[in-house]
Amino acid sequence: KNEVEQSPQNLTAQEGEFITINCSYSVGISALHWLQQHPGGGIVSLFMLSSGKKKHGRLIATINIQEKHSSLHITASHPRDSAVYICAVASGTYKYIFGTGTRLKVLA
């Protein structure tokens, strides 16, 4: 069993829909990151969370440390949100453990 599990693996939505991507982990962490990987391959960091909730534009990330679970929400989704979203947990002083990603496609 992977230490970081994401669901769903693939998601297709219509423009304007509210989207939720989930991440569960089984190890102790110092922080959890949500990353976005565009079709060209580049990876950018969206959020780093150690507790609570963060919001940036139409993106909202939450984490429940007790339940070892995080969610990434996208409100009013747009085709430019189409990407792979990766959950990564920081475990220890340097080690990241990555989920396998959720491939999101938003249709116009």
Partner 1 sequence: DADVTQTPRNRITKTGKRIMLECSQTKGHDRMYWYRQDPGLGLRLIYYSFDVKDINKGEISDGYSVSRQAQAKFSLSLESAIPNQTALYFCATSDLSGGPETQYFGPGTRLLVL
Residues binding partner 1 (CB under 8 A): 2, 4, 30-31, 33, 35, 40-45, 48, 50, 86, 88, 90, 93-101
Q: How far is the CB of 104 from partner 1 (least distance, A)?
A: 16
Whole-number Å distance between alpha carbons of 26 and 4 = 7
By residue count, the chain amounts to: 108
Residue 32 corresponds to which tokens in the numbers above?
């959890």
The distance in angstroms from the start CA to the end CA of the chain is 36
Q: Which is nearer to partner 1, 14 or 51 (CB)?
A: 51
In one-letter notation, the amino acid at residue 61 is: A
Shortest distance, position 34 Cβ to partner 1, whole Å: 12
Nearest distance from C-beta of residue 38 to partner 1, angstroms: 10
